[in-house]
Amino acid sequence: MKIGIAMMSHETNTFSPVITDLERFSGGHGQPLEGQTALQTYRGTASCLGGYIEVAEAQQVDIEMGIAAGAPPSGPVEDDAFAYMCDAIIALAGRVDGLLLDLHGAMTTKTYDDGEGELLRRIRQQCPELPIAISLDMHANITEQMVSNCDVLTGYHTYPHIDMDSTARRAAEVFFDMLNGRVKPVLRWSNAPMLPHVMRQGTDDEPNASLQRRAIDLERSECLGVSVFTGFPHADIYDAGFSVVAMTDDEPTVAQSYVNELLQQAWQARGDFVYQIEDLGTSMQRAETAAAAPGTGPVIVLDHYDNTASGGTMDTTEVLSAILEAGLQRVAVFGFYDPDVVDQMAAAGVGATVTVDLGGKLPMPALSEQSQPIRLTGEVKLLSNGKFQAKVAMARGLTINMGRSAVLSVGSVDIAIISRHIEPYDPECFRSLGMEPTSYDYVMLKSRIHYRVGFRDTAKEVIECAGRGVCTSDYSQLTFDKVRRPVFPLDEDGSGSNEFWQIPDVNA
Rounded to a whole number of angstroms, the distance between the first and last alpha carbons of the chain is 41
Q: Would you say 106 or 408 has its CB closer to Zn ion?
A: 106
Q: Would you say 48 or 435 has its CB closer to Zn ion?
A: 48
What's the closest the beta carbon of residue 185 comes to Zn ion, in angstroms? 24
Going 88 to 90 to 95 to 99, the CA torsion angle's sign is positive
What's the closest the beta carbon of residue 420 comes to Zn ion, in angstroms? 19
Q: Would you say 11 or 151 has its CB closer to Zn ion?
A: 11
Q: Which residue number places its CB atom closest to Zn ion?
A: 139
Q: For Zn ion, which residue of 78, 114, 116, 137 counts as binding (CB under 5 A)?
A: 137
Stretch that binds Zn ion, among 79-87, 138-146, 327-335, 396-404 (CB under 5 A): 138-146
**Span 306-365, contacts to Zn ion by CB under 5 A:** none
Q: Would you say 109 or 307 has its CB closer to Zn ion?
A: 307
What's the closest the beta carbon of residue 198 comes to Zn ion, in angstroms? 9
Residue closest to 447 by CA, chosen among 333, 296, 351: 333
Q: Would you say 113 or 137 has its CB closer to Zn ion?
A: 137
Q: Is 79 helix (H, G, I), strand (E, B) or coil?
A: helix
Q: Would you say 12 or 405 has its CB closer to Zn ion?
A: 12
Distance of alpha carbon 29 from alpha carbon 420, whole angstroms: 12
Cis peptide before 486 (omega within 30 of 0): yes
Distance of alpha carbon 133 from alpha carbon 152, whole angstroms: 4
Stretch that binds Zn ion, among 130-138, 402-410, 416-424, 475-483 (CB under 5 A): 130-138
What's the closest the beta carbon of residue 138 comes to Zn ion, in angstroms? 5
Distance of alpha carbon 266 from alpha carbon 105, whole angstroms: 20
Q: What is the H or E stretch that residue 226 is in?
A: strand 225-229
Name, in order, each residue with C-beta under 8 angstroms of 221's C-beta and a sequence gap of 6 or more. Answer: none
What's the closest the beta carbon of residue 1 comes to Zn ion, in angstroms? 32
Does 139 sit near Zn ion (CB under 5 A)?
yes
Q: Would you say 114 or 137 has its CB closer to Zn ion?
A: 137
Stretch that binds Zn ion, among 132-140, 257-265, 335-343, 403-411 (CB under 5 A): 132-140
Q: Is 357 helix (H, G, I), strand (E, B) or coil?
A: strand
Distance of alpha carbon 163 from alpha carbon 165, whole angstroms: 6
DSSP 252-301: HHHHHHHHHHHHHHHHHTGGGGSPPP--HHHHHHHHHHHHHSS-SSPEEE
Stretch that binds Zn ion, among 27-35, 133-141, 200-208, 336-344 (CB under 5 A): 133-141
Stretch that binds Zn ion, among 14-22, 136-144, 145-153, 459-467 (CB under 5 A): 136-144
Q: In sequence order, what are the beta bridge partners of 244?
A: 190, 228
What's the closest the beta carbon of residue 445 comes to Zn ion, in angstroms? 17
What's the closest the beta carbon of residue 168 comes to Zn ion, in angstroms? 14
Number of residues lying near Zn ion (CB under 5 A): 2
Q: What's 24's DSSP letter?
A: G
What's the closest the beta carbon of residue 424 comes to Zn ion, in angstroms? 16
Q: Would you say 102 or 151 has its CB closer to Zn ion?
A: 102
What's the closest the beta carbon of residue 203 comes to Zn ion, in angstroms? 11
Q: Would you say 90 or 392 has its CB closer to Zn ion?
A: 392
Q: Would you say 139 or 420 has its CB closer to Zn ion?
A: 139
Cis peptide before 207 (omega within 30 of 0): yes
**Span 34-63, contacts to Zn ion by CB under 5 A:** none
Distance of alpha carbon 397 from alpha carbon 311, whole angstroms: 24
What's the closest the beta carbon of residue 165 comes to Zn ion, in angstroms? 15
**Span 153-192, contacts to Zn ion by CB under 5 A:** none
Helix and strand counts by DSSP (H, E) for the chain? 13, 18
Does 423 sit near Zn ion (CB under 5 A)?
no
What's the closest the beta carbon of residue 86 comes to Zn ion, in angstroms? 22
Q: Would you say 130 or 392 has its CB closer to Zn ion?
A: 392
Does 428 sit near Zn ion (CB under 5 A)?
no
Going 203 to 205 to 211 to 214, the CA torsion angle's sign is positive
Instruction: Output the CA–CA distances (angstroms, integers) from residue 206 to 198, 240, 300, 426, 487, in the order listed.
Output: 13, 21, 22, 24, 21
Phi-psi region of 380 (alpha: psi -120 to 50; beta: other; left: phi over 0): beta
Residues that bind Zn ion (CB under 5 A): 137, 139
